[in-house]
Structure 1
Amino acid sequence: MISRQDEERPLLVLENISKAYPGVVALSNVTMSVTAGEVVALIGENGAGKSTLMKILGGVITPSSGNVIVDDVRYEHFSVTESQSAGIAFVHQELNVFDNLDVAANVFLGREIRTGFLGLLDIKAMRAATQPLLNRVGATFRPDTSVADLSLAERQLLEIAKALSIKARVVIMDEPTSSLTLSETQTLMRVIADLKAEGIAVIYISHRLGEVEQCADRVVALRDGKVAGELRKADINHDAMIRLMIGRDLKSLYTPPARPAGAVILSLKAVRTAAKPQGRANLEIRSGEILGVAGLVGAGRTELAEAIFGIDVILEGDVMVAGKTFRATSPWEAIAAGVYLVPEDRKRTGLVLESAICENISLADLRTVSRNGLVSQRLLEARADDQRTKLDIKTADVTRRAAELSGGNQQKVVLGKWLSMRPRLIMFDEPTRGVDVGAKAEIYKLMRALANADVGIMMISSDMEEVIGVSDRIVVLREGEITGSLARSDFSEQNVLKLAVGAN
């Protein structure tokens, strides 16, 4: 139980934290605190300073000025060791798991349980200790499962279990639901409530403001490296958070199409994929429409998009693009037909992070920036500069590495790669995962502009607000099969979930 004194005395304080780099002030006199058993949401656009502040809290970087105070002990230079000793645990957005190890080995990495005179790994003990943690976060995979076999959502749950394993006093969750479904998100909300009841503090970083409303006791907003304001529980609402983050109100998510949907761009009839052989998918996407594809994780949404794009195998069924029979056996065939995929995990499959922005943008169409069989750096940079201007990619230099950009700008580079070509159909898989509200609005505007230019848009999303707020029509997948279609007049979370779980 938490005493009244503990409730009033901050467990952790970041006091007047500033961090400056040559030519850039990342943080300026930021002060925030968290008490035992409190959930403090840290919100702000990408580039607002959230990541820098958390790296200081983790001891990864040293502030230019200011102090970290834990249990009234003041640290001017807070190290990684001191952070860990203070019981501060991180659940990172960029998943820090090792594919070549099993789940239990990842949970106990660096803290392995050993036995005997030789100090051999006690694999049985580690797996036994891991199972209750997996139960706690609602994971269905086993401690002996190879991480290579886990989906992105399952890896996220593993990260949370890993943080819980160190008996943390403060758990920092950075976009923890970015790849979780609604039901998995609700499981996480219950985990957070349990942590609160045990007196564990949570710093919750998320662009999903509905979740912040649900779990936060207090909200701290950063804007341009400064504290823009704070909201108490009774004052936390979507509009108030938006105003603090970006200094203005945002318009409704939904922008109606400029005209009725046109001809069918993509048609699937009884399509069965290798990933979900028991299901048969039927759907149509028309030019000028945004089709939202909803469903639980594991329903086969990503697998269906990958099969259309030629990554996965279509076992049987009919696929037509613009009225012609189509069956891509490789992504190159899909690209040649104007069918493009913006993948769920942009860092692993959408970008070459160590390559330049300009190289990424022309990666799928090098022939048009080549002369006599050699890539022209001038043409490469000219094309990238054109997309930088059109998409407002925030960089002054297109020869910078893609890894140096924020999540929203990395997503724009992925989009720039396809928009510099000739799209007929673009499949967006979790298009705004890890992207701030301002960049989200820009991506939604871009999707509508593409649709108005007669491009067909297929948007796969686990974010219910996004699916309902952006789509012209919604189809729901369950075990590889389309269980229903909803017109805008029938949009509701309840209707989507009924189709997702097979309820009558």
Structure 2
Amino acid sequence: MRGLGKRFGEVRALDGVTLDFPAGQVTALMGENGAGKSTLLKILTGDHRPTEGTVLLDGAELALGSPARARAAGIRIIPQEPEIIPHVSVAENVYAGALPRRGGRRLDRAELHRRITADLDRLGFSRVLEPELLGSQLTPAQRQLVEILRALTGEAKVIAFDEPTSSLSEQEVAALFALIRRLRAQGVAVVYVSHRMQEIFQLADRIAVLRDGMLAGVLDAAEAGEQELVRLMVGRDLSRLFVRQRVATDQVVLQVDDLTTDDVRGVNLAVRAGEVVGLAGLIGAGRSELALALAGDLPVRGGTVRLDGRRLRPGRPGEAIRAGLGLAPEERKAQALFLQRSIRENTSLVVLDRLRRWRFVRRGAERELAQGFADRLRVRAPGIEQEVRTLSGGNQQKVVLARWLARKPKVLILDEPTRGIDVGAKAEIYQIIADLAREGVALLVISSELPELLGLADRVVVMQNGRITGELDRAEATEERILALAMADDLSDHNDSSGEDDLRDEGGRP
């Protein structure tokens, strides 16, 4: 890319970016949300035309006017938000637009099955993805794998992965990394977009950093340090990312006793005012299902949930909200936000009863409320009438938080609150969590990033297969102990009756 620029009206999203992606190398592309990464990728896919500059492939200038041209040129982008056809199978989703036909018209299902089976085996995904599953039945992780399979059909010269591991399990991440290394060995130019430093240093040969639409620098991954990268990304030092101080009281706000659903088994849990309880576990452990059940959004088969001593009736989200419970769910775009609506409308959604006069919403009061929280949480947008779909992931998450802050909850459940969010926005959300705890809010934080839980939580509760397998105080919690509890059943199945020897390394350390 030479002198690449892109304007949207008065907003300059990219400004004179000159950057190359060499064949046979993994180039990590990093930057805060809004730095220009998505715009750059959309130019590569043909979704956007650059305002100025050129794109060259193998030395020849490309006219990427459409996604079809980009694909024909050998450029593949695996998006962060998978696009899945719900009513057809995995196999048909993967080969959509290029399905094998018999006699030119009828779908050749035998050939389709042969192709998908061969590709699943070749890419190492056969154990985690069934060809006949419908798109509507797929988990977020499986939808991501379908996008990866779709991108790898045909000959590819450049493949960009946009936050590909945000929904994947440890096993699936390992398979993906092995695949990326094979692509690199085959001479493919790999672009890897991620906010996870550990992944970047594990995979990348070089790291390109964007800031405010400009190229801030390109570093050798083997020589780069984490603090140097953060300074390039945000222009300041974030050495004190976590600011938690223990402010919990003895007052139990949320009390869960023997809660049982189709996915959760006999959960007992207490969260106190001002306490941050981290909820850890591998994908499929039942953490999100527990959160939805507490919020009244999943059927409950047994047990009780009490908020400030008041028993909540199951399956009644409105009652849970009125009692003071809020939930920022894992899938913010699908489950929390009205993307075509404004910041103002999304913020005021759960307090309209307080803003009404007779049957009409007082627009002045609504605007004042939304603007106040947008300022407090530093939502970066031209104004509160901006549609939420146009915001970066970090700012979308702040709008979700603003909604619940407006309601003044007693209990706030945050499910993967920083997924797909850059390091600068993460620091701001960590500060919001610390502020809420100081105000006496009881917080239950679900996260797949163990350093995040260790930095935020007063206690870490660990789940596996729908039940709680252990609890660790802040002083005793480590990544190793959390993982041991998260895999407790697997380890007990693997170990013999002699107990703990298999949990120790060669030096005898646990």
TM-score when scaled to structure 2? Answer: 0.92
Q: Work out whether 1:19 is the aligned partner of 2:34.
A: no
2:175 is aligned to 187
Q: 1:293 to 1:270 in 2, by over 3 A?
A: same
Q: Is the 8 A contact 1:46 1:408 kept in 2?
A: yes
Range 230-239 or range 435-444, more displaced: 230-239
Structure 1 segments unaligned to the other structure (5+ residues):
1-13
Alpha-carbon contact 2:454-2:478 (below 8 Å) kept: yes
What is aligned with 2:214? 226
- Counterpart of 1:381? 367
Alpha-carbon displacement from aligned partner over 1:232-268 (angstroms, at most 9, x marks no partner): 0222332121011011110333323253443112122
The equivalent position to 2:410 in structure 1, one of 424, 449, 473, is 424
Q: 1:171 aligns with which of 147, 152, 159?
A: 159
Cα deviation for residue 366 of structure 1 reads 1.4
Match of 2:43 in 1: 56
Contact 1:221 1:244 in 2 (8 A): yes
- Give identity over the alignment, percent: 40
- Decide which moves more: 319-328 or 357-366: 319-328
Q: Secondary structure at the match of 1:329?
A: coil
Match of 1:31 among 11, 18, 30: 18
Q: Does 1:274 align with 2:262?
A: yes
Q: 1:380 to 1:124 in 2, by over 3 A?
A: farther
**Match among 221, 240, 258 for residue 228 of structure 2:** 240
Shift of 1:190: 1.9
1:105 equivalent in alignment to 2:105: no
Report the Cα distance in structure 2 between the residues aligned to 1:458 and 1:47, rounded to whole angstroms: 28
Q: Which residue in the other structure is 2:443 paired with?
A: 457
User: Matches of residues 464-483 of structure 1 in structure 2 within 5 Å?
Assistant: 464-483=450-469
Kept after mapping to 2: 8 A contact 1:301/1:460: yes
Provide the rounded CA distance (Å) in 2 between the counterparts of 1:480 and 1:258. 28
Cα offset, 1:344, TM superposition: 0.6
CA distance in 2, matches of 1:429, 1:501: 20
Contact 2:44 2:64 in 1 (8 A): no
The answer as to whether partners of 2:271 and 2:444 remain within 8 angstroms in 1 is yes
> Match for 1:24: what amino acid?
V
Q: Deviation of residue 79 (structure 1)?
A: 4.1
Alpha-carbon distance in 1 for matches of 2:224, 2:249: 38
The answer for the alignment partner of 2:347 in structure 1 is 361
Other-structure match for 1:9: none
Instruction: Single out whichever of 212-221 and 194-203 deviates more from structure 2.
Output: 194-203
Structure 2 unaligned residues grouped into runs of 5+: 492-499, 501-510
Letter in 1 for 2:26: V
Q: 1:241 to 1:319 in 2, by over 3 A?
A: same
Q: CA deviation at 1:399?
A: 1.6
The counterpart of 1:115, out of the listed 73, 91, 102, is 102
**Secondary structure at 1:440 match in 2:** helix
Q: Does 1:296 align with 2:285?
A: no
Tell me which moved more, 128-137 or 466-475.
128-137
Deviation at 1:76, TM superposition (A): 5.3
Alignment match, 1:413: 399
CA gap of 1:23–1:195, structure 2 versus 1, over 3 A, is: same
Match of 1:199 among 183, 187, 193: 187
Structure 1 residue 478, shift from structure 2 partner:
0.5
Asked if structure 1 preserves the Cα contact closer than 8 Å seen for 2:337 and 2:346, the reply is yes
Match of 1:213 in 2: 201
Of the candidates 226, 249, 252, which is equivalent to residue 264 of structure 1?
252
Q: Which moved more, 1:455-464 or 1:376-385?
A: 376-385
Q: Contact between 1:308 and 1:327, CA under 8 Å: does it hold in 2?
A: no
Which residue identity is paired with 1:29?
A: G
Residue in 1 aligned with 2:473? Answer: 487
In the TM superposition, residue 468 of structure 1 has moved relative to its aligned partner by: 2.3
Contact 1:262/1:454 (<8 A) preserved = no
Q: Which of 67, 75, 79 is 1:92 aligned to?
A: 79
Alpha carbons 1:39, 1:204 under 8 Å: kept: yes
Instruction: Report whether the alignment pairs 1:448 with 2:448.
Output: no
The amino acid of 1:23's aligned partner reads: E
Amino acid at match of 1:422: K
What is the match of residue 5 of structure 1? Answer: none
